[in-house]
């Protein structure tokens, strides 16, 4: 597909880097700001909140849809990742995005991906440890998207809290003139964080998947009541997680929101994080914890 509607009326869809740059040329003026919402598609209410935020902050909103193979490890769900480009165009248009950039893998990686962006430190823990090479793939594709779109603003979700930290460090380390905006997690009525991967949950798994949020909410409740011992908070999270036997917990922790290092005692930068497998689906979630201010 290589559709190009006229900007700025309606949604333009571009599949090539050249087409994307040409479509954005009219927006590149000192008095206009461009926002980028990078996604892997199968767009849902969480992505919609990011697009709404981008529109509030900028004059032109670009949504990228690219299931980035370099951020998937061998044996991960690259092939089974949900895809729905038609639905993505409809959601992006309904939320007033101006341009949807949906390149093929060949367009982004014409040859073997021998050049990559890598980062030490925060990438070595939690998601980085569970998914070796994942953040290199994220950093590489985000860098490419930043160069292609050249946005003034990049909008990411708190849902992927460690990713947001990594992208903030990338912007600082490589001097991208981009303001990062992080949008709170959008949830289903039972608390399950909206995620493209939820589409792969079976009817039996779906209710238990909300156990991740129930565990985080329990930690937040105890923190609000004055519990400052993070070991007690993690233990309470694990008790709640154990009530959903289909969940195979990978990690549950309370970390500093900027360094993603485990905290011994709660402070105002604490965030509870959890990752678990349920059947063939891997889910992550997190919740900032406000300490009791007595
Ligand atoms: P993804 O398509 O899953 O790679 O996500 C693209 C962007 O949407 C990332 O910045 C995510 O953090 C964000 N996102 C995903 N799910 C949610 C959600 N439930 N609420 C808010 N943002 C989200």
Which of helix, strand or coil describes residue 237? Answer: helix
Distance, CA of 191 to CA of 41 (rounded, Å): 21
Q: Positive or negative CA dihedral for 24, 26, 29, 31?
A: negative
- Ramachandran angles phi, psi of 150, nearest 5°: 50, 60
The answer to whether residue 2 scores a pLDDT higher than 70 is: no
* Burial of 119 from C-beta contacts in 10 A (0-12 / 13-18 / 19+): middle
Q: What is the number of the ligand 1 atom nearest to the C-alpha of 185?
A: 20
Token output for 46: 């969480």
The overall average pLDDT reported for the chain is 95
Token output for 49: 């909140």
In the chain, how many H helices and how many E strands?
10, 9
Q: Mutation test of ligand 1: which of 159, 161, 273 has the most ligand atoms closer than 8 Å to its C-beta?
A: 159
The answer to whether residue 125 scores a pLDDT higher than 50 is: yes
7 or 256, which is more confident: 256
Q: Tens digit of pLDDT for each residue in 69-81?
A: 999 999 999 999 9
Q: How far is the CA of 45 from the centre of ligand 1 (A)?
A: 9
The separation between CA 218 and the C-alpha centre of its own chain, rounded to angstroms, equals: 23
47 annotated active-site: yes
pTM of the shown model = 0.95
Distance, CA of 294 to CA of 289 (rounded, Å): 15
Return the residue whose CA atom lies nearest to atom 7 of ligand 1: 39
Q: How far is the CA of 120 from the centre of ligand 1 (A)?
A: 23
The answer to whether residue 82 scores a pLDDT higher than 60 is: yes
Residue 293 binned pLDDT confidence (cut-offs 50, 70, 90):
low
Return the closest-CA partner of residue 154 out of 176, 179, 177, 186. 179
Task: Verify whether ligand 1 is closer than 6 Å to residue 159 (CB atom).
Answer: yes
* Burial of 130 from C-beta contacts in 10 A (0-12 / 13-18 / 19+): middle
Q: How far is the CA of 222 from the centre of ligand 1 (A)?
A: 27
The answer to whether residue 126 scores a pLDDT higher than 90 is: yes
Residue 264 binned pLDDT confidence (cut-offs 50, 70, 90):
very high
From the candidates 44, 47, 95, 134, which is the catalytic residue? 47
Task: Verify whether ligand 1 is closer than 6 Å to residue 213 (CB atom).
Answer: no
Q: What is the number of the ligand 1 atom nearest to the C-alpha of 47?
A: 8
Residue 240 binned pLDDT confidence (cut-offs 50, 70, 90):
very high
Q: What is the number of the ligand 1 atom nearest to the C-alpha of 156?
A: 10
The answer to whether residue 6 scores a pLDDT higher than 50 is: no
Return the residue whose CA atom lies nearest to atom 12 of ligand 1: 157
């Amino acid at each position: 597909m290589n559709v190009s509607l006229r900007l700025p009326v309606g949604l333009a869809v571009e599949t090539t880097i050249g087409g994307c740059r040409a479509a954005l040329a009219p927006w590149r003026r000192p008095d206009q700001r461009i926002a980028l919402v990078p996604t892997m598609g199968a767009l849902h209410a969480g992505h919609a909140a990011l697009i709404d935020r981008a529109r509030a902050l900028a004059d032109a909103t670009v949504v990228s849809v690219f299931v980035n193979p370099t951020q998937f490890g061998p044996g991960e769900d690259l092939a089974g990742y949900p895809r729905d480009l038609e639905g993505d165009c409809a959601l992006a248009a309904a939320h007033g995005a101006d341009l949807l950039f949906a390149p093929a893998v060949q367009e982004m990686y014409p040859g073997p991906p021998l050049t990559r962006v890598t980062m030490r430190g925060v990438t070595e823990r939690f998601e980085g440890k569970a998914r070796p090479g994942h953040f290199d793939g994220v950093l590489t594709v985000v860098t490419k998207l930043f160069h292609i779109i050249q946005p003034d603003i990049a909008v990411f979700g708190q849902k992927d809290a460690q990713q947001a930290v990594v992208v903030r460090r990338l912007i600082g380390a490589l001097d991208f003139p981009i303001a990062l905006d992080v949008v709170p997690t959008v949830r289903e009525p039972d608390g399950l964080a909206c995620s493209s991967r939820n589409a792969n949950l079976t009817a039996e798994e779906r209710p238990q998947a909300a156990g991740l949020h129930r565990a985080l909410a329990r930690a937040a409740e105890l923190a609000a009541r004055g519990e400052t011992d993070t070991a007690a908070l993690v233990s309470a999270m694990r008790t709640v997680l154990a009530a959903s036997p289909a969940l195979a917990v990978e990690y549950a922790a309370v970390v500093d929101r900027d360094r993603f290092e485990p905290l011994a005692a709660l402070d105002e930068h604490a965030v509870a994080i959890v990752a678990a497998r349920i059947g063939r689906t891997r889910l992550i979630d997190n919740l900032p914890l406000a300490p009791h201010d007595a």
